[in-house]
């Protein structure tokens, strides 16, 4: 069984979002539908491949609008194509490593990987094992500083027995071997926002307003994300 003790704080040193904040997150899913940023004011990609990993208990459908926007900006985006993300099962990790090799070959070089929430942990795990195939890791509302605190902890622990027993959760707190960008919001009702920032010297932290569950369609995120993927400073 995978040891999750390094993921979640049990001392109270990290403040878990309140459940009232979590309820606000579900409300935002229904009401938060902002207008996308002006595409003409943003740089264009050059066909670079971008793999997008969904958050916990979601799939490629939740990242569709984000991928569609990046495609219109000249990138080639790809979903993870592995159903619902329940976490780092052996099957999911093996699939992701194959997916990265496949897309890097298609791209003719390293790719960018975007991970939302728990998907960000999977993206970072990939970067440790495949640094030669990944040029940039972007995390959206995903914990960099571990241990963290989350209103979803009970659900993650419920899925824990299915996770790969070889997963090295402790290394997720180590510096990444590739450049990265970490988006976070103080309004996060799922993960302690403080833990979603990074101290890595090659990581740019970007704070935005808005909710965890709608971060994929957040206009500020899309604006900065395009600039980072295109090679500009956000």
pLDDT, tens digit (0-9, with 9 covering 90-100), for 151-166: 999 999 999 999 999 8
Q: How confident is the model at residue 4 (pLDDT cuts 50, 70, 90)?
A: confident
**pLDDT value at position 234?**
54
Question: Helix/strand/coil (H, E, C) string of 27-92?
Answer: HHHHHCCCCCCCHHHCCCCCCCEEEEECCCCCCHHHHHHHHHHHHHCCCEEEECCCCCCCCCEHHH
Examine the pLDDT at 130 and tell me if it is beyond 60: yes
Task: Please name the residues in contact with 54: beta carbons below 8 A apart, sequence gap of 6 or more.
Answer: 60, 62, 63, 79, 80, 85, 116, 119
Q: What percentage of residues in the chain have a pLDDT greater than 90?
A: 87
**Mean pLDDT (whole number) for 161-177:** 90
- To the nearest 10 degrees (0 to 180), the angle between helices 64-72 and 219-229 is 50
Please report the domains of the chain, with CATH numbers, ordered by start residue.
Answer: 19-27+45-229 (3.40.50.1820)
Examine the pLDDT at 123 and tell me if it is beyond 80: yes
How far is CA 44 from each of CA 21, 37, 51, 71, 193, rounded to the nearest angstrom? 36, 14, 17, 10, 30
Examine the pLDDT at 216 and tell me if it is beyond 90: yes
**pLDDT value at position 131?**
97
**Mean pLDDT (whole number) for 75-104:** 97
DSSP bridge partners of 114? 52, 138
**pLDDT value at position 169?**
86
Whole-angstrom Cα Rg for the chain? 16
Q: How confident is the model at residue 1 (pLDDT cuts 50, 70, 90)?
A: low
Least confident of 28-32, 63-67, 94-98, 193-197: 28-32
């Amino acid at each position: 069984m995978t040891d999750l003790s390094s993921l979640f704080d049990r001392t109270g040193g990290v403040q878990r979002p309140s459940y009232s904040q979590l309820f606000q997150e579900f409300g935002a899913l229904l009401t938060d539908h902002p207008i996308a940023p002006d595409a003409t004011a943003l740089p264009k990609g050059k066909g670079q491949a971008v793999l997008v990993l969904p958050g916990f208990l979601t799939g490629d459908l939740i990242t569709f609008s984000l991928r569609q926007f990046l495609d219109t900006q000249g990138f080639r985006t790809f979903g993870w194509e592995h159903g619902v993300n329940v976490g780092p099962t052996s099957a999911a990790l093996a699939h992701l490593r194959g997916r990265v090799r496949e897309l890097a070959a298609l791209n003719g070089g390293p790719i960018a990987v975007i991970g939302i929430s728990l998907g960000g942990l999977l993206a970072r795990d990939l970067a440790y094992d495949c640094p030669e195939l990944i040029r940039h890791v972007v995390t959206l509302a995903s914990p960099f500083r571990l241990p963290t605190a989350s209103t979803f902890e009970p659900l993650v622990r419920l899925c824990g027995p299915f996770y790969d027993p070889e997963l090295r959760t402790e290394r997720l707190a180590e510096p990444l071997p590739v450049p990265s960008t970490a988006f976070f919001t103080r309004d996060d009702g799922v993960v302690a926002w403080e833990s979603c920032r990074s101290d890595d010297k090659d990581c740019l932290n970007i704070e935005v307003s808005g909710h965890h569950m709608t971060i994929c369609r957040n206009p500020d995120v899309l604006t900065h994300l395009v600039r980072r993927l295109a090679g500009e400073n956000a």
